Amino acid sequence: MRIEKIELIGFKSFADKTTFALHPGITGIVGPNGCGKSNIVDAFRWVLGEQSAKSLRGEKMEEVIFNGSAQKKPKGMAEVSMVISGLNGAGAQGNGGQGELLTISRRLYRSGESEYMINKSSCRLKDIKDIFLDTGLDFRSYSILEQGRIGEILNSKPIERRFIIEEVAGVMKYKIRKAEALSKLESSRANLLRITDIIAEVKKQINILDRLAKKAERYKKLSAEMHAIELKIARNEFQQISEALALILQEYDELREKEALMNAEISEAETKTESRRLNLLEKEKSLEIVQNEFQTAEREISEIERAIAVGKNDISNLGEYRAKLAGQEEEIEARSAEITGKCEELRLNAEKLSAEIEGHTEMLREKSEAFRSIEEELSEKEEQIEDKRREIFRVSEQLSGLRNELGRHQTSHESLERREAATARESEDLRKMLTGIESSINEVESGIHGSNNEALLLKEKKEVLLLELSGVKAKVELLLTSLSGAREEFASINSRLDSLKEIVFDTPTRELLASSAEVNILASMSDILDVDAKYEKAIESALSEKSDSLITGSPEDILRAVSSLKGKDVGKSAFIAGSGLQNLTFGDVPAGIIGRALDFVKVDERYCRVAENLLGGVLIVRDIDTAFKLRASDLSHTFVTGDGEVVEPSGAVVLGGDKGIFRRKREIRELQETKEAKKSLIENMNNELQSSQEIIQQREAAVREVEISMHNIEKEISLSRLTADNYAEEKERASRKLSYLTLETEEIMREKEAACAAMSAAEEQIRSAEARKAGFEQESLMIQEGISHRKAEIEGYRSEVTDLRLLITTNRERLDSVKNETESSMRTLEELKQKRVELQSEKESVRGRISQREEEIFGQEARLRKLVADADTIRIDISKRKEEIELENQDLFAVEQGLKTLRQQSSGVAHRISELDVVRAEHKMRLVNLADNVRNNYGTEIEMIEIARVSSAEEERLAELRNKVQEMGVVNLGTLEEYEELMTRYEFMTKQHEDLTKSIAELEEAISKINSTTRKKLREAYEVLNAKFGEVFRSLFGGGRAELVLTEENNILESGVDIIAQPPGKKLQNIHLLSGGEKALTALSIQFASFLIKPTPLCILDEADAPLDESNTERYSKMLDDLSSHTQFIVVTHNRTTMGVAQHLYGITMEEAGVSKVISMQLTEVPVGQ
């Protein structure tokens, strides 16, 4: 596999489409800080699937999209594409590729949407990861190595470093398959447990439903015959109500026709009224228009009067202005005469100054010639003294060199003395160190013996902890099993409770009225009664349809409820007003009864009146015979048996019909109590389970601590053995160095004698040079005295020349000033002439404006007279229009009175229609209730039933059928269908149980094979990588030793990896104490060792050479060059040595702030001499 190129569009600082062609070997990326080099590395990580914005140096993923600059707008998306080759066709074809080239793309929109593509076709991130699986190229792998990740390799935990061995071993696909298999295994076991529980529960339900299904079949046959008779009765009642409703509708239609005729008369009267109002409105608008015209005329009169006054005022102001212009003209003539005299005076001054300047110029020339003669003489003497100074400087340099040479000999002598003393001290220190090393070796060997004993004690402690942990885990398993059963029971109770609540409380009528703000529903009948369980059936039969009726605040609420439910399919509904009820009286209670119904009922005290009205006349008796006997002498009470048989005062007997409302209410209360008890039990078991799990965590933590301690002791033993070896090497080096110091002391003595002889020769040469320097300095002093005398003379001449030049300059400036002033006066004179001409023109203009104003005032006065005459005419028209409007108002009042009378008559008809509406609604409600009852209870429409007379034999048969159904008790007809469903479900679950058992066995076998293969590959990879790591380490460091150590030698599948490194010339120490450069080389040694065993297609190094010095950089660059034959390298660097091994260079610049630009350069080898 090889990376052909990468293309960036709108990614970070790369605003425009940017392509990087990647060649075999090493490609360098260079540029100043902040230009966007690392953004290229981020692009590789991003296209390979990096999901962390922080890993891409941002806060949120949208920050990878170009955010704009001073000249460029922000981009709407970022896209990175990478083209790879060398898949031998398989990978390409398998992923929708074309030939050997495969393009992988990732795109992110600013809206947050993103997509992955292979050859421009959408795909999943998993598809892209599968392509690079076990190639070593992944956004998390160390094939992309930034400067920060170097420290991450060394500072991470041992368990995190195992990733290095896994990459070399190529077991990533096995890890993924194992994780998938474990996930499936866990899911399968959970499913198996759940299906086992379900099968047991279904089997239990089947056994229960078998008997109930047979009973339901018998009940179904009896109910069918009973329903046929009940339908005939319902159809007859429906017909009677329908006929009564037809008469009401006839009267209703006649009144509606009458109401329509009256409404037409009212509409005609309203039209006439509106017409007169519109006519009146038009006249009022016409009056308003005339009034506006009158106001406009008055405003125009006022404006003309003001304009005339303003014109007269302007004429007055223009006359004053003309007088002012005449005065200014006289002032200009006087000023012109004054300036003419001043110009003549300035001319005479200019001639005088010119004569003075010529005389001073002649004197300046004579003084300047004498001054130049003395300056030439001084120049000759200064050349002589400069020659002497050069001689003195040459001798001084010679003298300085001699003194420096003497100083060097003295410094050398002192240095040799210090070296002699230091060598003596170092020899003494080495002798002492040899003694200390022998003592340290003895201490290390003693420490190794103690550590071995401590390791045995820790092993025994670990075995004890594991035994305790096993016992606690067994207890947790028992608790989990019990807790699972308790939770299932709790869920079953909760489900039954929810079902009962839905049946009892969630009726369509109640839900609809609860959303209405107009109807005040206080409670339902079942809410206010708490019935003795023994007499639930009796009380519910006595209440009959009223057992689930709703209690309203007032009778008016019942009417509003009827209106709200009209036209809605909510079934049968019953209402009782909670207020306005009358006290009902019943006869004396006869003997031979069990008790009054109210004696076995607890009633909410707010609804006592409701309960008394409904149950006050109900007596509970032992059986139906007793009820018939008592009814014969008592026609004021209703008698109910404990089985729910009702004997009404009319003699009618009602059997069955029990809905179980009160029984369900009682069951809800009992289930609620059971639920709370079960919830408390689950909480206690949870607490006990949590406590046991905490103990497990404590014991596991203790085991981990013991294992860590054992691992640390093993490391200490290993380090101690290495330390002992180091001490032996150090002892040998110290002995060799002591012999070398003895030879060095003899050499220092010889060098001291040579230095003393050289110091004596240098001192003699210094004395000779100092004598020559003194002679030159005396001659130079004599020449300097002559120069000083002549300089005094030249200063006198210089002062006179300067004064003359200053006087000439001053006179010339005065002459220029006089000339300038003369020119200024002449310009002023010209300006005055021009201004006088302008004043004469302005006087003529003012005269014309006065004439114009006088003509305008004349025309405005004529216009004013016409406007006053028009305004008088309009005023008379306004008076006439007001009189017409008053007459129109009187006619309108008479028409409105007639309309009021018609509306009163129409109101009486509407009231009668409203009364019929209520009656009609009541009949329709009865029809709807009958139809709903038939539809809901019998599943047919009442109109589809044929009208037929019900015979007495059919009525007797109906009573017999009801008795039989009543004796059967509650029968669930859904049991038949439920039984069939359970049998189907039981067969399906049994098959699922067999499949899952087989699947679990197959998964366990697959995981075992994966573990065996992975263990073998990891062991082989560890041994090869450990050996190669030592070789690369010695190559990069020029010596030393390094190795990888498994933290759990016998469990390589879970073992971490420790790194031991000892650079040359240093003691073995913790890798965290290594310098930055040493850490970088150690991390690179691991990475390069991996490449030598299993080369990756691409390696990216982002300033990995930053911590390295020059020599280390050269070794690093050589290693890169060697590895580049198998791996493509992209190196981001500032180092010239690293750049030197790159075959291609990309320069990144930022000519425009915030926008990166690429410059490409190809490097080739040049033969020596060209």
Q: Rounded CA gap, 123 and 45, in Å?
A: 18
Q: Rounded CA gap, 233 and 864, in Å?
A: 102
Residue tagged 């020899």 (tokens) = 427
DSSP class of residue 544 equals: G
Q: Rounded CA gap, 463 and 892, in Å?
A: 115
What is the end-to-end Cα distance of the chain in Å, rounded?
37
Nearest to residue 791, comparing CAs of 373, 366, 380, 378? 378
936 is in an annotated binding site: no
3-class secondary structure, 220: helix
DSSP class of residue 1153 equals: T
35 is in an annotated binding site: yes
39 is in an annotated binding site: yes
- CB of 170 closer than 8 Å to CB of 80: no
How many CB atoms neighbour CB 46 within 10 A? Answer: 23
33 is in an annotated binding site: yes
- CB of 453 closer than 8 Å to CB of 713: no
- Residue 423, both tokens: 């060598």
Q: Rounded CA gap, 557 and 522, in Å?
A: 11
How many CB atoms neighbour CB 533 within 10 A? Answer: 12
Report the 3 state secondary structure along 12-73: CCECCCEEEECCCCEEEEECCCCCCHHHHHHHHHHHCCCCCCHHHCCCCHHHHECCCCCCCC
DSSP class of residue 11 equals: B
- CB of 339 closer than 8 Å to CB of 818: no
Q: How many helices (H) and strands (E) does the chain have?
A: 18, 24
**Long-range contacts at 305-310 (CB < 8 A, ≥ 24 apart):** 305/864, 307/860, 308/857, 308/860, 308/861, 308/864
Angle, helices 1076-1093/1110-1123, rounded to nearest 10 degrees: 10
Query: E-assigned strands of 135-286?
Result: 144-146
Report the 3 state secondary structure along 97-161: CECCEEEEEEEEECCCCEEEEECCEEECHHHHHHHCCCCCCCCCCCCEEEHHHHHHHHHCCHHHH
3-class secondary structure, 650: coil
How deeply is 1034 buried, as exposed, middle or buried, from its count of CB atoms within 10 A (0-12, 13-18, 19+)? middle
DSSP class of residue 748 equals: H
Q: Rounded CA gap, 657 and 640, in Å?
A: 13
**Long-range contacts at 610-614 (CB < 8 A, ≥ 24 apart):** 610/525, 610/528, 610/551, 610/576, 610/578, 610/581, 611/528, 611/529, 612/583, 612/584, 613/581, 613/584, 614/525, 614/543, 614/546, 614/576
- For residues 714, 716, 718 and 724, what is the CA-based torsion angle, rounded to 10 degrees? -150
- Residue 355, both tokens: 């004569």
- CB of 1019 closer than 8 Å to CB of 1052: yes
Measured CA distances, 1149 to 29, 950, 1155, 1158, 1159 (Å): 11, 105, 8, 7, 8
Nearest to residue 521, comparing CAs of 535, 507, 532? 507
How deeply is 43 buried, as exposed, middle or buried, from its count of CB atoms within 10 A (0-12, 13-18, 19+)? buried
- Which amino acids are annotated as binding site, given as ranges? 32-39
Annotated binding site for ATP: 32-39
